[in-house]
Amino acid sequence: MKRIAKTLSANDTGETGGHQAGILVPKNSEILAFFPPLSAEVKNPRHHLFFRDEIGDQWEFAFIYYNGRLFGGTRNEYRLTRMTPFIRAAGLRAGDELILEHRDGEGYSVRYTRAQPTRIQNGVLKLGGHWKVVRVNA
């Protein structure tokens, strides 16, 4: 099983009111290995992935490599898009952790954990926005 997780930012959940093309996926080889490979030979390649949540509902997310820089543009980033319906249905907020899992032969699953009470240090609200690879021994 492969598992990755991300502490959601206010931008990820739409709390800032801004519009973005999905959640940024860092160019970290361990995190990218969770997703199917995308060819740099094609402009903006993508895979549509189907995730099951804990109650069995299916959600379609898209893993996209916006590689316009290789074709004369400016973008060069990976994104996980089409997540807004899931985020809204789950009522996710900044600080909640999104957990994605993949089991060979069983497909993808998605779940989340709610943020612990926020911490304010010196008058500054501390929120995480980092992806992490979760080690699982089979």
**Tens digits of per-residue pLDDT, 10-30?**
899 988 877 676 899 999 999
pTM of the model: 0.81
Q: What is the mean pLDDT of residues 79-92?
A: 94
State residue 116's pLDDT score. Answer: 73
**pLDDT interval class at 67 (50, 70, 90):** very high
Stated as kind and residue range, the H or E segment containing 29 is helix 29-32
pLDDT at 62 over 90: yes
Tell me how far apart the alpha carbons of residues 90 and 83 are, in angstroms, rounded to a whole number: 11
Instruction: Report the candidate in 14, 9, 2, 19 with the shortest Cα–Cα distance to residue 126.
Output: 9
State residue 129's pLDDT score. Answer: 57
State residue 71's pLDDT score. Answer: 93
Whether residue 25 contacts residue 32, with contact meaning beta carbons closer than 8 Å, is answered with yes
Q: What is the mean pLDDT of residues 46-68?
A: 96
DSSP 108: E
